[in-house]
Amino acid sequence: MARILVIDDNDDFRKVIREVLEKEGYEVVEAGDGDEGISLFKEKPADLVITDLIMPGKEGIQTMVELRRDFPDVKVIAVSGGGFEGPRTYLEGAELIGGALRTFIKPFPPEELLKAIKELLGE
């Protein structure tokens, strides 16, 4: 089954996503920030990356730009729950600048995330 890297500074969010994905049979790797996520991806690339946009240190868009620079075919789903200008603004940036293939505003139904993952992975 596919390997998915979840990058988010919120432990509870990562735990919930891990449980949902593992229940579907996916291998899940977690990172608490962009730098850790990039390191993990370089060690063993994932089939798909789910990243938050607003994190301390390296934010999601920076992380996505770096991943896409080094791994142009990486598939990324961006998620955001807020920010100064609201999540929609950040998610639009994730699509335009970071190359996110799908975006979600937190909270979102797990079924919608699973549907997007299956589409992106061709399942």
Domains of the chain, CATH where assigned: 3-121 (3.40.50.2300)
CA distance 27 to 43: 15
Greatest Cα-to-Cα distance within the chain, rounded to the nearest angstrom: 38
Residue 97 banded pLDDT, cuts 50, 70, 90? confident
> Residue 53's closest CA among 5, 123, 104?
104
Residue 83 banded pLDDT, cuts 50, 70, 90? low
Residues 6 or more apart in contact with residue 70 via CB below 8 angstroms:
42
pLDDT tens per residue, range 6-44? 999 999 999 999 999 999 999 999 999 999 999 999 999
In the predicted model, is pLDDT for residue 85 greater than 60? Answer: no
pLDDT > 90: percent of the chain: 76
Kindly state the tokens that stand for 27.
């291998």
